[in-house]
Structure 1
Amino acid sequence: MNPGLILLLSLLGIPILEIAVFILVGGQIGVFATLAMIFVTAVIGTALLRHQGFSLLARVRAETDAGRVPGEELGHGAMILVAGVLLLTPGFVTDALGFLLFVPPVRHAIWRFIVTRLDVSTISMSAGGFRARSGPQGQDHVVDLDEDEWSRKNNPDTPWRQDRLR
C-alpha cells in the first residue's frame, strides 16, 4: 500500500475514530469523567516520558562512552517521543497507542521490524585504508587502496562551495 495513502487515511481515520470513542465512552461514564480520564492520561504520559527519557539518555551516554553508536537507543528515543506526543493528544485511541510505545518489549519488536528492512552502510578511514560496514548483520569489508588508486578532487559544480553558500 502506498505510504502517502496510509498517511492520508490515518489523518482522516484517527480523528473520526477518536470522536466515535469519545461519544461511546462519554455516553457510558459521562462527560466529566471522560474529560478527567483524558487529563489523567496526559499527566501519566508526562511522568512516563520524563522517567523513560532520562533512563534512555543514560543508556545513550553509556553506549557513546563505550565507543559504540547508540542506534537502537536513539530508535527507542524516537518512539518514546512519539508516545509522549500521542499521550498529550486528547483521545483514547492515541492514548492506547502511546502507552503501547512506552512498553519496552513493544518498542523492541518495532525496532527489530524496522532494522530488518534497513540496509545501513558506514565507511570510516583508518591507517590501513577504508573500512566499509554494510547490511543489518554489519559484515566488514575492507577496501585497501594505495595512494595512486584514489585521489581527492574538488567538484566545481557542488552546491556546498563556500562562494555559493553566501
Structure 2
Amino acid sequence: MRIFLLLFLLFPLAELALLIKVGSSIGVLPTILLLIISGMAGILLMRLAGFATAWRARERLARGELPEREMLQGLMMALAGGLLFLPGFLSDVVALLVLFPPTRKLFLGFVGRRVEAQAQRRRAFADDLRQQQEHRDGPQRPNVIEGEWERRDK
C-alpha cells in the first residue's frame, strides 16, 4: 500500500521533470504535438482493444472455455491506452512496455502467479476456518428436511 502512495506522489513529479527536460530540448510546440498524438493513439488503442477483447472472449465462450487470459490481455491493453492518454512521456514509455508482446507476456505470467498464490492463501484460510468451526461445533450434518410426498399424475 505504501508503494502506491509513493508512486502517486512521485509519478507526477517525474512526469513533470521529464516534460520540462524534453520541452527544453526539442521545443514547446513539438512537445505539445507529441503529447496530443500520444493521447489520440491512446484513445484509438482503448477502442480497438475493447472490440478485440470482446471478439476473442466471445470465441472462447462459444467453444465452452473461460476467457480469463483474453480478459486480462484486454485489461492490459486498456491500461496501456489509458497510460498513452495521460499527458507525459514516462507514462508513454510504460504503456509501450505493456504493449510490447514479450514484456506483456512476462507481466501476464507475473500477474497469473500472484493471483494463483492469493487464491491458495484464501483457500488455506477458508480450510482453517472450517476446521476450527468443526472442532468447536462438532462435525457438520447436512441440512435435511424430512417429510412425506406423493405423486399425483392426471
* Structure 1 residue 118 displacement after superposition: 2.7
After superposition, the C-alpha distances for 1:110-148 in whole angstroms (9 at most, x for unaligned) are 111111223348xxxxxxxxxxxx9xxxxxxxxxxxxxx
* Structure 1 residue 50 displacement after superposition: 2.3
User: Which of the pair has more CA radius of gyration?
Assistant: 2
Aligned with 1:115 (options 105, 112, 117):
112
Aligned with 2:56 (options 54, 59, 62):
59
**Displacement over 4 Å in runs of 4+:** none
Residue pair 2:80, 2:96 contacting (<8 A) in 1 also: yes
* Structure 1 residue 73 displacement after superposition: 0.9
- The answer on 1:151 being equivalent to 2:148 is no
TM-score for the superposition, normalised by structure 2: 0.72
Where relative contact order (Cα < 8 A, 6+ residues apart) is larger, the structure is 2
Percent of aligned pairs with the same residue? 32
Q: Larger strand proportion, structure 1 or 2? A: 1
Moved more, 92-101 or 45-54: 45-54
Residue pair 1:86, 1:97 contacting (<8 A) in 2 also: yes
- The answer on 1:80 being equivalent to 2:71 is no
Aligned residue in 2 for 1:104 = 101
Aligned residues: 124
Residue pair 1:49, 1:80 contacting (<8 A) in 2 also: yes
Matches within 5 A, 1:31-50: 31-50=28-47
Q: Partner of 1:117: helix, strand, or coil?
A: helix
Residue pair 1:48, 1:102 contacting (<8 A) in 2 also: no
* Structure 1 residue 100 displacement after superposition: 2.1
Change in Cα spacing, 1:82 to 1:58, as seen in structure 2 (3 Å) is same
TM-score for the superposition, normalised by structure 1: 0.67
* Structure 1 residue 150 displacement after superposition: 6.2
Which structure 1 segments of 5+ residues have no match? 122-133, 135-148, 154-166
Which structure 2 segments of 5+ residues have no match? 124-139, 145-154
* Structure 1 residue 104 displacement after superposition: 2.9
Residue pair 2:80, 2:95 contacting (<8 A) in 1 also: yes
Aligned with 1:24 (options 21, 26, 29):
21
* Structure 1 residue 107 displacement after superposition: 2.0
